[in-house]
Chains A and B, each alone.
Chain A
Amino acid sequence: MLQATDLVMRFKKNRVLDGLTLDLAPGAVTVLLGSNGAGKSTLLKLALGVLKAGAGSLAVCGFDPVKQPKHARRAVGYVPDKPDVYDWMTPRELYRFLKPQYPTWNNDKVERSCTALDVPMDRKFGALSRGEGMKAMLVAALAHEPELLLLDEPFAGLDPVVREEVLRGIIAELRADERTVLCATHDLDVAARIADRVAVLHRGKIAQHGDLQDVLGGDDEAGRIPDRMRLLLAEAV
């Protein structure tokens, strides 16, 4: 689904990804853990083709996101860290705008998801709460039934009640379909609740990648996982 090999990404002198290699297992929910600025969002943006790696190779559902962006993006659903749509748009208008871009767009799924997640279809995004907006974005990301769903810290900045609401919505959607998911977060509680597998991003590389229990129980590979993160991870689980 997502195969990254020796990815390097620099922002000026800052080497954010430094030879990252990752192969996502199909049908699994993988949580990408890492501290702020570790490069989690960068990896997701590379997968969407909105960033270009300095070196290495990346394939998303068999497509190169830089050379075949249209195919790659049609195969991927993406939920950003905050709704980045026009304030004047309603969710219904957003879905109408997006629909022609995705041949596999499923209106029934949109209706079902909106009902299940309680998304107000005819209220402008500018008037939606952050949680409602994120749920509307989740519906948009799932409406074309993507092979790979990318979640870019969708719970960041949400208050606990809304966060729980959004999290339940996401869990419900993920359980309904056997979908490959890569969720970037530094929220260990989220990781504990949704992850089948965990990938730990540290110093531009995947320091650990495996089942949740394996990552916690395995060796820490010469201390490449910060102790604090390991403790937090263990505590969260």
Chain B
Amino acid sequence: MRVFARYLWKEWRDQRVVLLGALVAIPLLLALLVFVLPRSVTEDESFGMVTAFACLALAALAVGNEALPSESRRQTARLLARLPGGLDVAFAAKLCVVLATLIALPLYGWSIAAAFGASGVDPRLHEYMPGAFAVALWMFVVSSWLPRGALAIPATALTLGVMALPVYLVWTHNPMMTPREGALEAGIVLLTMGAVWAGWWSFARGRRFSRGAWGSSWRGLVATTVLFSPAWAYSAIESHDFHRAPDPQSERWFIQTAYIGTGQRFAFVTGADTRRFHPRARVSKPVVVDLRDGTWRAVGSPHESFRPLQRVYPASEYPVIALVDLKEPGNKTRHLWTHYFSGATGSVVKSGWSDMLFSEVQSLVPRLPRVAPDGYTFRVRYGWAVSLSKGSRRFLRDPFADKLYEIPQELRRGQYFVLKSGWLSGVRGSWRRFDPKTQERVGPEVPRPDWANTDT
């Protein structure tokens, strides 16, 4: 323990100029920014977040990236290598100091920003800091392969980019695939913990016996490959399962939704293999089942995800609409298509009117905030509503007129039924005709529509 304590002391002496300089410079710089920038900026929660990320970058560049290469550059690695403690203890001490700096400096920066008036914690801080921390730690690891810490930035980007490329390609090629709950978090934890091992293997083992940069870097690359291999394997398995034909007769088949059509003969079923199923999985395989003999056929393609209108749709005597959410590979926009499921014949037919991009929605409605809708649900049979993360504007599409209408604020809690002959609006159990152009309920009260006999 005394040996380790002396190494820690050595690291502190080695880095104290940078650390003490940062402790003094950060408040001064923030004070200057508070003086120069408007209060709306410095008192915003994002000011604290930006400060924390800047301090993390400073810690990574000034301490993390230089801790290992500086030993080789100053030739002091020779001293460390020939001491009884060897490079293992030296690496452990460096890791402790780097970790402490990567944690403490952003915290310090954020605290100073808060003291200067930045309010609250920006949620993005929680969201992105673990990933940024992992990247900073990887820069420390990659720096052990290099003669200069500055090279660690492009080298880390290249290494992590190349390693993550197979995963990226698999998931972008299958945009409807959704990782299991916690998979991403587990990956970040694995890569963060694994960085420690990769760094130790690169530096303490790679630099042993006076091996040069190559001895260190090939070990680091092997370690990185090993650490990324679970992500590759996971992506490959998910992709394989995703493309596998569904088998609704399997004991592991879990029915998520069922639409039983006219005559109780055909059912439109979405489901998933329980081995792969998890509550947040959006991917479900749509099949049409002939309830008389159990035969079935798959619907759609791997690039389509059928999102049912409701969890369970009871037996009905009229067509049921399924929403198809199509995201083409490489296309950042999404198409929302509706399909008709004919309960009588068991056929699923894409309607001809509803192919539309979200970007088109935004162009149609200029005032629509340029944020991605966080949900879209069918409230009525042919219209669709977009609920947004900010505000709660609601739009319904008239498929027969091929137009999008905004539903007024006072009426948006109602239900709407879009027919060829016109719209019906139901508010608090009262149904009247609705003119989407004037956005007014018109005419006398009508009985609740008879769903089974409506003219569609």
Interface of A toward B, CB cutoff 8 Å: 45, 48-52, 66, 69-70, 73-74, 78, 80, 84-89, 93, 96-102
Interface of B toward A, CB cutoff 8 Å: 2-3, 5-6, 9-10, 13-14, 74-76, 78-79, 81-86, 208-210
Q: List, in ascending order, chain A residues with CB within 8 A of B82's CB.
A: 48-50, 73, 78
Q: List, in ascending order, chain B residues with CB within 8 A of A52's CB.
A: 209
Which of B3, B74, B78, B81 touches A101 (beta carbons < 8 Å)? B3
Q: Is the CB of A86 within 8 A of B84?
A: no
Q: Pick 9 A–B contacts, CB within 8 A, sort by A.
A: A50-B210, A66-B209, A69-B86, A84-B76, A85-B79, A97-B6, A99-B6, A101-B6, A101-B85
Q: Is the CB of A84 within 8 A of B78?
A: yes
- Give the most central of A50, A88, A96, A102: most B CB within 10 Å: A50
Number of A-B residue pairs with CB-CB distance less than 8 Å in the complex they form? 57
Q: List, in ascending order, chain B residues with CB within 8 A of A73's CB.
A: 82-84
Q: Is the CB of B2 within 8 A of A51?
A: no
A45-B210, A100-B3 as given contacts; A80 in contact with B10, CB under 8 Å: no
Closest B residue to A86 using CB positions: B76
Rounded to whole Å, the gap between the CB of A54 and the closest CB of chain B is 11
Q: Is the CB of B210 within 8 A of A51?
A: yes
Q: List, in ascending order, chain B residues with CB within 8 A of A96's CB.
A: 6
- Give the most central of B2, B5, B84, B85: most A CB within 10 Å: B84
Which of A50, A99, A102 touches B81 (beta carbons < 8 Å)? A50
Q: Is the CB of A101 within 8 A of B83?
A: yes
In the complex the two chains form, what is the Cα distance from A86 to B6 in whole Å?
A: 14
Q: Is the CB of B83 within 8 A of A100?
A: no
Which of B9, B14, B75, B84 touches A74 (beta carbons < 8 Å)? B84
- Give the most central of B74, B81, B82: most A CB within 10 Å: B82
In the complex the two chains form, what is the Cα distance from A31 to B267 in whole Å?
A: 94
Q: List, in ascending order, chain B residues with CB within 8 A of A102's CB.
A: 84
Which of A48, A49, A100 touches B6 (beta carbons < 8 Å)? A100
Q: List, in ascending order, chain B residues with CB within 8 A of A69's CB.
A: 84, 86
A84-B75, A97-B6 as given contacts; A51 in contact with B83, CB under 8 Å: no
Rounded to whole Å, the gap between the CB of A183 and the closest CB of chain B is 17
Q: Is the CB of B3 within 8 A of A85?
A: no
Closest A residue to B75 using CB positions: A84
Q: Is the CB of A70 within 8 A of B10?
A: no
In the complex the two chains form, what is the Cα distance from A51 to B2 in whole Å?
A: 27
In the complex the two chains form, what is the Cα distance from A99 to B75 in whole Å?
A: 21
Rounded to whole Å, the gap between the CB of A148 and the closest CB of chain B is 13
Q: List, in ascending order, chain B residues with CB within 8 A of A74's CB.
A: 84
Closest B residue to A48 using CB positions: B82
In the complex the two chains form, what is the Cα distance from A69 to B5 in whole Å?
A: 21
In the complex the two chains form, what is the Cα distance from A66 to B86 in whole Å?
A: 11
